[in-house]
Amino acid sequence: MENKRKMYSSAFKGKVALEAAKEIKTINVLASEYGVHPNQIGNWKKRLKEGIPEIFNVKRGKSKKNVDIMESKLYEEIGRLKIELDWLKKKLT
């Protein structure tokens, strides 16, 4: 048996959820316009409203994890360069 579930892009889901959140049209009207079940639109609207605080909570730039990884790589490189410099100083004297 073939899977007959429709797959919607995140952009489509966002567009429909945003229209539902505006509450200019009812969910049933949006469902008939976009060919999506009203319960699905309700779920997307709920996820949109729950996700809004996270959108504005994210800091610009790299995440803390990426910064920590980059920092550890830089400290490793500093350590290697310091050892090489000390070795070269011993060889020159």
What's the number of CA atoms in the CB half-sphere (13 Å) around residue 4?
Answer: 1
Residues 52 and 85 reside in one and the same domain: no
Residues 53 and 22 reside in one and the same domain: yes
pTM: 0.58
Range of the domain at 13: 9-58
Position 42 in a domain:
yes
Residues 44 and 82 reside in one and the same domain: no
Strand segments, DSSP code E, in 1-93 are none
Residues 41 and 77 reside in one and the same domain: no
Tokens of 90: 């011993």
CA distance to 23, 30, 70, 86, per residue, from 36 (Å)? 17, 8, 44, 68
Instruction: Write out pLDDT tens, residues 23-81.
Output: 999 999 999 999 999 999 999 999 999 988 887 776 665 567 778 888 999 999 999 99
